[in-house]
Amino acid sequence: MIVKSDKEREGMRAASRVVKAALVEAEKFIKPGVTTLEIDAVVEQVIRSHGATPSSKGFHGYPNASCISVNDVVVHGIPSLQTVKDGDIVSVDITALLNGYQGDAARTFAVGTASEADIKLMDAAKAAFFAGIEYAKAGGKVGDISAAVQLYTELHGFGVVRALTGHGIGHKMHEPPEVPNYGRHGTGSPLKAGMCICVEPMITAGDWRVKVDRDGWTTRTMDGSRAAHYENTVIINGDGAEPEILTL
Ligand code: MF3
Ligand code: CO
Ligand code: CO
């Protein structure tokens, strides 16, 4: 959506704060031996305790409050009785609806002790987000963000997933425009002041190609390499000003 009024901005901020709070509690809870369903329960409890609802639950039939994606799963992992182990990496993606406004964010967390390679992968997903955000200003194009995310990711030797993209956000979780993590400067929709979008690099330690499991959701790398996801909800500003990152 294009956020015009102070009331709308505050609505987007408040929904985003709920998402952030749920991510904070999920991170604290994650340790070797917990199941991904238990992590999801923590997320759902935090969301509901704020008077918000988990937008992913029932979204095109998706069963849970969060997406929890372990190791080679890039996104849309369905919480289950699978326990996470020392050395695993776990991506948690949360969307919450509060008073008609959506917030959406994701992080990848290490379980116990992370390898050097996984730390580099997780750091690169975050850094790719911030590389893209440099171009998240009115007067630019969506492709400026996409190209910057892709350039950063590939220069550091990682793969950038193409099958899924970032997106506009507002009263609905997914609104136009799509915000791909690959593309060319100067292409795509114009970025306008007040536009609210999710920028969400999904990057892999190997090849960028992904496949979807028989469950219709679980999206994993074809080559079995690990993946990281870093997402925030942001409002584009005018006059060359920095965007406001709502889920930080
Ligand atoms: N939060 C995801 C995104 O970043 C979408 C979740 S899809 C769902 O766009 F089905 F799990 F809800
Ligand atoms: Co998300
Ligand atoms: Co999103």
pLDDT in tens, 49-84: 999 999 999 999 999 999 999 999 999 999 999 999
Rounded distance between C-alpha atoms, residue 179 and residue 152, angstroms: 16
Average pLDDT over residues 208-226: 98
- Locus of tokens 């369905």: 78
Confidence label for 168 from pLDDT (cuts 50, 70 and 90):
very high
- Provide the pLDDT for residue 230: 99
Atom of ligand 1 nearest to the CA of 200: 4
Average pLDDT rounded to a whole number, residues 155-162: 98
CB crowding 75-109: b at 16 or more within 10 Å, else e: bbbbbeeeebeeebbbbbbbbbbbeebbbbbbbbb
Q: Whose CA is nearest to atom 6 of ligand 1?
A: 56
Neighbours of ion ligand 2 (CB under 5 A): 93, 104, 106, 231
Among 62, 94, 218, name the best residue to mutate to test ligand 1's pocket (greatest count of ligand atoms within 8 A of Cβ). Answer: 62
pLDDT bracket for residue 192 (50, 70, 90): very high
Pocket lining: 68 vs ligand 1, CB cutoff 6 Å: no
Strand partners, 203: 160, 228
Measured in Å, residue 217 CA sits from the centre of ligand 3 at 15
Q: What is the pLDDT of residue 7?
A: 95
Q: Give tens-digit pLDDT for 3-58.
A: 989 999 999 999 999 999 999 999 999 999 999 999 999 999 999 999 999 999 99
pLDDT of residue 238: 93
Secondary structure percentages of the chain, helix, strand, coil, to 5: 30, 30, 40
Q: Are strands 66-70 and 166-168 parallel, antiparallel or unpaired?
A: unpaired
CA of 51 to the centre of ligand 2 (A): 19
Task: Give the neighbor-by-neighbor strand order of the sheet with 219-221.
Answer: 73-75, 219-221, 210-212
pLDDT in tens, 91-107: 999 999 999 999 999 99
